[in-house]
């Protein structure tokens, strides 16, 4: 089944404790993105990647890091999480010539 | 000002009603527009997309773009309880290259269709 998977689905952590949210897709898509979704603000792009080793900032990249060492994986790293990073996070992927993005199921992160 | 503005609702309608969901955008370079549907506790999924101005119909759904007024609409005919979801509009420049990965979303409108 073609899909985007994220782990973990739920995470509660404390301020300053480094964490990684994994994202994997099995569709051989070139593009992958991370978004955060907050009430009243909608989906905002954090980072995106056009292919292996090629990444670029989205609209809200501060406090996040990403890497794309393999085509199928695009982890999101929070080196020192803060409470304002409490949010619902989505990973998405798309083919290199398509605007249709396929989203993962989401990761709900709470930073206390 | 956000590049894409959307009334968050919530919007509640009876089954069978015609639903109109709307967005405005400010980026004149946007040429490709999409509507995503997001059910509770799920990721968004693409519902429809349109290029430049005009209408596109798919079953009970019609997407409309008016570039002169920078207005995007989604109409749902004969709405069903299964249509209850959050609807997100999005735009992109259709410049190829990196624009394939760069969508700008509105805030989303929460729709409830009650039996």
Per-residue pLDDT of chain B (115 residues; tens, 9 = 90+): 678 999 878 999 999 999 999 999 999 988 889 999 999 999 999 999 888 778 899 999 999 999 899 999 999 999 999 999 999 999 988 665 555 667 889 999 999 999 9
Q: What pLDDT band is residue A98 in, cutting at 50, 70 and 90?
A: confident
- Say yes or no: A34 contacts chain B, CB-CB below 8 A: no
- Say yes or no: A109 contacts chain B, CB-CB below 8 A: no
For chain A, percent of residues with pLDDT exceeding 70? 100
- What was the pLDDT predicted at A91? 97
- What was the pLDDT predicted at B95? 61
Q: Report CA-CA distances (Å) from B32 to A43, B8, B100.
A: 17, 22, 10
Flag if B102 and A96 touch (Cβ within 8 Å): no
**Higher pLDDT, residue A34 or B52:** A34
Q: Report CA-CA distances (Å) from A102 to A60, A110, B79, B106.
A: 20, 24, 25, 17
CA angle A89, A94, A96 (to 5 degrees): 140
Tell me the two tokens of residue A61. 């990249």
- Chain A contact set for B100 (CB, 8 A): 31, 50, 94-99
CA angle B6, B56, A45 (to 5 degrees): 40
């Amino acid at each position: 089944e073609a899909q985007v998977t994220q782990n973990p689905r739920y995470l509660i952590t404390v301020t300053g404790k480094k964490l990684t949210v994994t994202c994997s897709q099995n569709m051989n898509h070139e593009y992958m993105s991370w978004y955060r979704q907050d009430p009243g603000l909608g989906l905002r792009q954090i980072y995106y990647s056009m292919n292996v080793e090629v990444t670029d900032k989205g609209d809200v990249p501060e406090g996040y890091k990403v890497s794309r060492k393999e085509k199928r994986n695009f982890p999101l790293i929070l080196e020192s999480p803060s409470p304002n990073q409490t949010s619902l996070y989505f990973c998405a992927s798309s083919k290199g010539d398509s605007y249709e993005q396929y989203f993962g199921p989401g990761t709900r992160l709470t930073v206390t | 000002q956000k590049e894409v503005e959307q009334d968050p609702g919530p919007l509640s309608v009876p089954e069978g009603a015609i639903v109109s969901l709307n967005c405005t955008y400010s980026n004149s370079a946007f040429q490709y527009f999409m509507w995503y549907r997001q059910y509770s506790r799920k990721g968004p999924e693409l519902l429809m997309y349109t290029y430049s101005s005009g209408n596109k119909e798919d079953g009970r759904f019609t997407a409309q773009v008016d570039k002169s007024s920078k207005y995007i609409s989604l109409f749902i005919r004969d709405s069903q309880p299964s249509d209850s979801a959050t609807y997100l509009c999005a735009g992109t420049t259709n410049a190829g290259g990196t624009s394939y990965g760069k969508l700008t979303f509105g805030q989303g409108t929460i729709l409830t269709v009650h039996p």
